[in-house]
């Protein structure tokens, strides 16, 4: 069964790119563009990994990460936060994120990070 990866970003191009890339590598990719979609999705489908943008339109991904990690049902889901600002890496760790990816993305780095958190070594 393929690993389910949820990508949360407010940039439609990033969402579509991630979905295409992940599916081409055999992952079950889902996309969300806001907090409502994120929490609705995780309440029904527990993904193996969440890739979460730090700065969503009108929302702080770090606050969303803290909420996920505070809930018994979702705290076990690894959350890797993403940002174009490398100085965000420290603040995402303080928000209980499990990892950090810097934009723009290097595909090899993204795939290695996903493999590390999902145990998928394909």
The CATH code of domain 4-115 reads 3.40.50.2300
DSSP state of 72: T
In whole angstroms, give the CA distance from residue 82 to residue 61. Answer: 9
Domain coordinates in residue numbering, the chain: 4-115
Give SS3 for 53: strand
End-to-end CA distance of the chain: 13
Q: pLDDT per residue over 2-45, tens digit each? A: 999 999 999 999 999 999 999 999 999 999 999 999 999 999 99
Write down the pTM of the prediction: 0.94
For residues 32 and 64, the answer to whether their CB atoms sit within 8 Å is no
pLDDT of residue 121: 56
In whole angstroms, give the CA distance from residue 77 to residue 82. Answer: 16
Q: Percent of the chain at pLDDT above 70? A: 98
pLDDT of residue 40: 96
Residues 6+ apart with CB under 8 A from 67: 39
């Amino acid at each position: 069964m393929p690993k389910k990866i949820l990508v949360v970003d407010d940039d439609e191009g990033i969402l579509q790119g991630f979905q295409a890339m992940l599916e081409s590598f055999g992952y079950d990719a889902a996309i969300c563009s806001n907090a409502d979609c994120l929490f609705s999705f995780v309440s029904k489908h527990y993904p193996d990994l969440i890739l979460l943008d730090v700065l969503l339109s009108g929302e702080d991904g770090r606050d969303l990460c803290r909420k996920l990690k505070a809930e018994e049902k979702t705290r076990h889901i690894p959350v890797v936060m993403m940002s174009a600002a490398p100085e965000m890496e420290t603040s995402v760790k303080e928000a209980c994120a499990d990892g950090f990816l810097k934009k723009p993305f290097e595909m090899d780095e993204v795939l290695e990070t996903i493999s590390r958190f999902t145990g998928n070594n394909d």
